[in-house]
Chains A and B, each alone.
Chain A
Amino acid sequence: MKPAPFSYIRVATVEEAANALSEYTDAKLLAGGQSLIPLMNYRLSKPTVLIDLCGIEAFASVSLKDDVFTIRAGITHQSLHEHPLVRAYAPVLAECAGEVGHWAIRNRGTLGGSLAHADPASELPAAMVALDARFVLTSVRGERTVTARDFYLGLFTTDLAEDEILTRIHFFASSANRIHFAEIARRPGDFALSGAFVRVEESATEITWFGVSDMPYHLTLDALPVEEKARQALFTSLASTLEPLDQTVYRRKLAAVVAERAYLKGRRVQA
């Protein structure tokens, strides 16, 4: 299992990366490589040019100003998991980043890579959808901003154009409040069989499911029934409309369970 040949370019700035990406056809961005390199080792992906983003300066910064989080795409899952600002003001993001793969994977895999790769069972794309984050996409043509909810189009498919780089992520710290997360995986570190971010407000509820559809599945509801049976029945009926890629019955069942668990976690924390 060895990758096919390619040419390698290391860039020091986003501009260099954008230039290289527009210059070479069949080029691919390399971030942490934790999704791309396995695919290349299997020769399921054979880019002729790799543009390595790892050398971009300060590509892993996190800042919080006036309630707006700005996170640059190169931050690793582990740094996201450990970052004091994220822990303090977007704890659900820190928590779910810690569920991505194993320690050694998290030490290298990046937020941008995970968001761009768009694995339907990934935690972080769903987290961004739940947070209603904005992605900044950069190319030689300039920058544009797209909401996470518009970014995901389907299985491993996003709105990212061939020449674009996902460079920054913005979301409101206040929106991270009241979002809680639960997932079920076969073994810790595995991709989730089903996971959910649930946000409970007085008058409204949002659920973002992952692992149970071809992409993060977001929906907004009225306030949830307080009574357990009714609430679970609601989750079950909502989950029954999901279209998982396999194990349909089972994943739908789990979807209802993770939604309830995320909800209960929220109630515990908020109590």
Chain B
Amino acid sequence: MKTIQATQSITLNINGQTHSLDVEPRFLLSDVLRHKLGLTGTHVGCEHGVCGACTVLVDGKPERSCLVFAIQAEGSSVETIEGLSADGMTRLQRAFQEHHALQCGFCTPAFLLTATALLKQTKDPTEQDIREAISGNICRCTGYQFIVDAILAAAKGEEA
């Protein structure tokens, strides 16, 4: 059992890199990613789990970084948009550009991570599969149609 302290040292595995840092237990993973590690591609839109803008991949699965304490992420591997983009843009990212699947871009990293996880587990998703998978991510700008088109195109391996 760990003992109780005001701040604790933790080690996080983010985008394949190990980071050691001190946190208050109450620090949300979203805040630590953004403000302690400078990974500001993870965005915060509600801090109560609804908007989806803070979605990151924890052990490959989409989760809300605003509903996880950073201290809980010890021992997991976290992937953010910066990790997804480490080797340049993926096919999915290129499809987003090609299909104009983003406007203000605030929701975009979270959509990309969610869709990346979807395409990993479902090779040939239907439009309905896609809409359900991204239904926990709010985009206020696009009306979703071009996002769906981009994910469909990426799934089919269509290259711009």
Residue B126 interfacial (CB < 8 Å): no
Query: In whole angstroms, how far apart are the Cα atoms of A188 and B69 in the complex?
Result: 27
Query: Could you tell me which B residues sit within 8 Å of A by CB distance?
Result: 1-2, 4-6, 8, 24-26, 28, 31, 47-49, 52, 55, 58, 61-64, 66-69, 71-72, 75, 114, 132-133, 135-136
Contact of A3 among B26, B55, B61 (CB under 8 A): B26
Within 8 A of B (CB), among A71-130: 78, 101-105, 107-108
A19 → chain B, closest Cβ, in Å?
A: 8
Query: Is A108 within 8 A of B63, CB to CB?
Result: yes
Which residues does chain B contribute within 8 Å of A40, judged by CB atoms?
26
Query: Is A108 within 8 A of B67, CB to CB?
Result: yes
B2 → chain A, closest Cβ, in Å?
A: 5
The verdict on A103 contacting B62 (CB below 8 Å), with A8-B8, A33-B67 known, is: yes
Q: Which residue of B lies closest to A4 (CB)?
A: B26
Which residues does chain A contribute within 8 Å of B2, judged by CB atoms?
8-10
Query: Is B1 within 8 A of A9, CB to CB?
Result: yes
A95 → chain B, closest Cβ, in Å?
A: 14
The verdict on A105 contacting B4 (CB below 8 Å), with A8-B69, A42-B48, A189-B136 known, is: no
Query: Is A37 within 8 A of B55, CB to CB?
Result: no
Which residues does chain B contribute within 8 Å of A255, judged by CB atoms?
none
Which residues does chain A contribute within 8 Å of B68, judged by CB atoms?
33, 37, 108
Query: Is A38 within 8 A of B26, CB to CB?
Result: no
Query: Is A104 within 8 A of B5, CB to CB?
Result: no
Query: In whole angstroms, how far apart are the Cα atoms of A12 and B72 in the complex?
Result: 13
Contact of A102 among B8, B52, B71, B72 (CB under 8 A): B52
Query: In whole angstroms, how far apart are the Cα atoms of A47 and B37 in the complex?
Result: 27
Which residues does chain B contribute within 8 Å of A50, judged by CB atoms?
25, 69
Query: Is B132 within 8 A of A107, CB to CB?
Result: no
Besides A104-B61, A108-B58, 19 new A-B residue pairs in contact (Cβ under 8 A), listed by A number = A1-B47, A1-B48, A2-B47, A5-B24, A6-B26, A8-B25, A10-B1, A19-B1, A33-B67, A34-B64, A50-B69, A52-B72, A103-B135, A104-B52, A104-B136, A107-B58, A107-B61, A107-B62, A187-B135
Query: In whole angstroms, how far apart are the Cα atoms of A152 and B67 in the complex?
Result: 26
Contact of B4 among A9, A34, A42, A52 (CB under 8 A): A9
Which residues does chain B contribute within 8 Å of A52, judged by CB atoms?
72
Query: In whole angstroms, how far apart are the Cα atoms of A3 and B26 in the complex?
Result: 6
Q: Which residue of A lies closest to B76 (CB)?
A: A54
The verdict on A7 contacting B4 (CB below 8 Å), with A1-B48, A33-B67, A102-B52 known, is: yes
